[in-house]
Structure 1
Amino acid sequence: MQRSHPTRRTALAVLAASGLGACAPATSDSLATGSASPGGTASGGAAAAPVCVTTPEVTEGPYYLANQLVRRDIREGKPGLVLDMALTVVDVDAGCAPQPGTPVEIWHCDAIGYYSGFVDRSPGGTVPPEDGVGDDRTFLRGVQVTGADGVARFTTILPGWYGDRVIHIHVKVHKGGQVGKTYEGGTTVQTTQILFPDDVMAAVRTREPYTRHQLEPAKLADDMVYSRADEPDTMVPAMTATPDGYSLTMTLGV
């Protein structure tokens, strides 16, 4: 059963009353956002004060597949801008202490909008057929276990988009289970999403292979998950442009 946690507003009120200020760990995995075109420098978006708060629980969507491979690089040759991810899992009931040994699972669509396991479903709009690169049951899916610093790291591509959704990545944080070639069993303690800011979307859609998708992507503020979540900005990561794509950091408060 999911634990009940304070909302961001409640956490801020408690912190203000105690005079302690923000209690998130002092790492680069903040809740601030800043982005730029690939190969450029960070645009220095407005920084949100890091607080010890649960990341919103949101829908897993229709494309989840269990028992995925345990691996850092989930690309399987799929074309797209490289995305290096560092996701820090913290326990909000323990002052946001990093949580080592925690299985973190991610999955997302390819640059055109196709999900592995569902390659027969059109992303919408005018798009080419799925390219057949990678295993059609496993591409762009994977599990990593957090290290001593509470960080799970992935290498993937920056996703495309589909339907009326902004660019996003699905995330599950698990507890227990069997970690081998694949991850099985265990309990899901959080299901959330990573939602990409509009300036990253604007930069990405001018690059190959993303230009092959003619569907107009949603703005962040209009996205169905962002608009319905409590304190949705906690799902928007910090992003930095790199020579071949982006790096992404985010704290997952569970």
Structure 2
Amino acid sequence: MLGRPILDRRRVLAMGLLGIGVLVGCGAAADRSGTGAGSGTKDCPTAIPQETAGPYPADGSVASGQSLNVLTRSGIVRRDLRTSLGTGHTAAGFPLTLNLKLVNTGAGCAALAGYAVYLWHCTADGNYSLYSAGTVGEDYLRGVQVAGTDGTVTFQTVFPGCYAGRWPHIHFEIYPSLAVATSASSKIQTSQLALPEATCREVYATGDYPASLGNLNGISLARDNVFSDGYSTQMAAVTGNPSAGYTANLTVGLAR
């Protein structure tokens, strides 16, 4: 699983992927203070806030009493996060295509091509691969992509569940290049993406996410320990339905 030639391989991947771009829009109402333009398709968003990586990053940093690092695993640079690299097991849940567009807020929101994004989130049951009981041996719902010429990265994953005490969310870290996306020590930003309540309720009402609806009823964005101080630059615009799957778009502003 640990491939030491990974840096050379990533340089080649980065060169090949720079020409790939997926044009996406995004939506949000206001800036983090709630008074200005948000991350809509025509607006240049304010820079996304720095947030905690939480207890389950597996990025080489010390978390939950461990120094797990999935970033050095062969195959972690991938678009489809649903299958575990080691076991071949596939995470359950409704399909979710996630598009993040990286832009430079210091340069008129010019696309940040060649930057890398490491993304991870919980399962439909609210567990995290590599850490939670029953999923310690799995590494699904984690992966890295490099931004194309339009600054976009695309991941194919599943809609995450809602666990007690947190609003439904997705974690991500941003690196200046794919070659250095091998340890948290090289990251330039850590943040989280929020999912809209209406979509979450639609998904969780299906019965495929056993405890999520009850957990969602017990939390709000105003009480969440990450989003309570503002979330408009972090709220994804989501379309779709349970039968066809969902697509989430967010423009991520970085002050470069």
> Do these two structures clear the TM 0.5 threshold for a shared fold by scoring above it?
yes
Aligned residue in 2 for 1:44: none
Aligned residue in 2 for 1:111: 124
Aligned residue in 2 for 1:244: 244
Residue identity matched to 2:26: S
Aligned residue in 1 for 2:209: 210
Does 1:59 find its partner at 2:57? no
Paired with 2:55 and 2:249, the residues of 1 have a C-alpha distance of 25
Does 1:99 find its partner at 2:106? no
Contact 2:45 2:233 in 1 (8 A): no
CA deviation digits over 1:162-194, x for unaligned, max 9?
A: 121111000111113527xxx414721111101
Paired with 2:213 and 2:239, the residues of 1 have a C-alpha distance of 26
Q: TM-score, normalised by structure 2?
A: 0.71
Residue identity matched to 2:196: P
CA deviation digits over 1:218-245, x for unaligned, max 9?
A: 22232221103xx421110111114432
Contact 2:117 2:146 in 1 (8 A): yes
Residue identity matched to 1:235: Q
For these two proteins, the number of residue pairs brought into alignment is: 198
Paired with 2:39 and 2:173, the residues of 1 have a C-alpha distance of 23
Does 1:175 find its partner at 2:176? yes
Paired with 1:214 and 1:240, the residues of 2 have a C-alpha distance of 19
Contact 1:29 1:87 in 2 (8 A): no
CA deviation digits over 1:187-225, x for unaligned, max 9?
A: 211111011111112111112420355742222232221
Distance 1:216 1:197, change over 3 A: same
State how 1:145-160 maps to structure 2 within 5 Å: 145-160=146-161
Residue identity matched to 1:71: R
Aligned residue in 1 for 2:144: 143
Residue identity matched to 1:32: A
Q: TM-score, normalised by structure 1?
A: 0.71
Paired with 2:156 and 2:178, the residues of 1 have a C-alpha distance of 23
1:111 Cα deviation from its structure 2 partner: 0.1
Paired with 1:101 and 1:107, the residues of 2 have a C-alpha distance of 20
Contact 1:80 1:208 in 2 (8 A): no
Residue identity matched to 1:98: A
CA deviation digits over 1:17-46, x for unaligned, max 9?
A: xxxxxxxxxx6422337xxxxxxxxxxxxx
Task: Structure 1: state its 5+ residue gaps.
Answer: 1-26, 34-46, 121-129
Residue identity matched to 1:193: Q
Contact 1:162 1:215 in 2 (8 A): no
Paired with 2:127 and 2:116, the residues of 1 have a C-alpha distance of 25
Aligned residue in 2 for 1:78: 91
Distance 1:176 1:159, change over 3 A: same
Paired with 1:32 and 1:64, the residues of 2 have a C-alpha distance of 26
Contact 2:24 2:99 in 1 (8 A): no
CA deviation digits over 1:65-97, x for unaligned, max 9?
A: 024311000011111010001100001111110
Paired with 1:213 and 1:249, the residues of 2 have a C-alpha distance of 22
Residue identity matched to 1:89: L
Alpha carbon RMSD of aligned pairs, Å? 2.2
SS at match of 2:99: strand
Task: Structure 2: state its 5+ residue gaps.
Answer: 1-22, 30-37, 60-69, 84-89
Does 1:164 find its partner at 2:165? yes
Aligned residue in 2 for 1:29: 25
Runs of 4 or more off by more than 3 Å in structure 1? 212-215
